[in-house]
Each structure stands twice: as structure tokens, then as C-alpha cells.
Amino acid sequence: MIKEFRDFIMRGNVLDLAVAVIIGGAFGKIVTSFVNDIIMPPIGLILGNVDFSNLFINLSSQNYDSLAAAQEAGAPTINYGLFLNTVIDFLIVALVIFLVIKAFNSLHKKEASAPAEPTTKQCAYCFTEIPIKATRCPHCTSQL
């Protein structure tokens, strides 16, 4: 059983998947930072100095100035600003993955789509498909 497990772990697909998960996690942190630190501040500035990470709906009867104060007091909140940040984060990751897959597919398609040399031609008299090297049509016996 240990040998089977070792063989399973050492297969190339498992190692590739492990590397992809690790890189994906690091990439997710980069995208989250990009959204929170670069994308959202200018959008908040355009919308009138709005800090999206501080947008929330307070479900308690007390009033709180910030999300941090409400969370510190243990008040129930709906954090729709953080949700918007997460949605934008997801959309950026999805766009990057789409672009990478599209680029990969276009490279793969260029390799596979080389046109094959024709092996047949059409007889000019009877329009039958004949081998390209034929000098006489086997159907109508015309000389080509």
C-alpha cells in the first residue's frame, strides 16, 4: 500500500497539480492585493471617497461608525463592501484564466491546423474523385 501511494504521489499529474495549487494560491493573494490596494481606491475616489471594505449594513439597534467597530462589538452585519471586493477579485482571476486558456488554445490550434496535402482531384469531364497522380480517369477513361 505504501508503494502504491508513493507511485501515486510521484506521477507527473499529481506533481503538476500540486505546483498549480501552490502557484494559484500565491496568484490569488496577488490578485486580492491588486483589487484591494490598486483597483478599489480609485473607484472609491470617483464615487465620492467611498471605502468599499467599510461598507456594511448594521443589523443591530446600535449605531457604529465603521465595520471594524461593529465587528469588535460583535454586532451582526452584512458586509456587502467586502463582498464587492471579493466579486471583483473573482472576475479578475476568471479573466486571467480565460486569457491564458485562450492563448494556449490558439497556440495548440496553430500547431494542429496545418492543412494536409490533397490526395485526390476531380475529373474535369465526369467530376469523379480520382487520385491526384492519375493521368486517366478510371470512371470515364478521359485523358487528364
Q: Give the separation between CA 20 and CA 129, rounded to whole angstroms.
A: 51
Instruction: Write down the pLDDT at residue 77.
Output: 92
Which CATH architecture is the domain 2-113 placed in? Orthogonal Bundle (1.10)
Instruction: Write down the pLDDT at residue 111.
Output: 62
For the chain, strand residue ranges (E) read 57-58, 77-78, 120-122, 129-131
Per-domain boundaries in the chain: 2-113, 116-144
Question: Could you give the percent of the chain with pLDDT greater than 70?
Answer: 94
Segments in the chain below pLDDT 70: 12, 110-114
Instruction: Write down the pLDDT at residue 124.
Output: 86
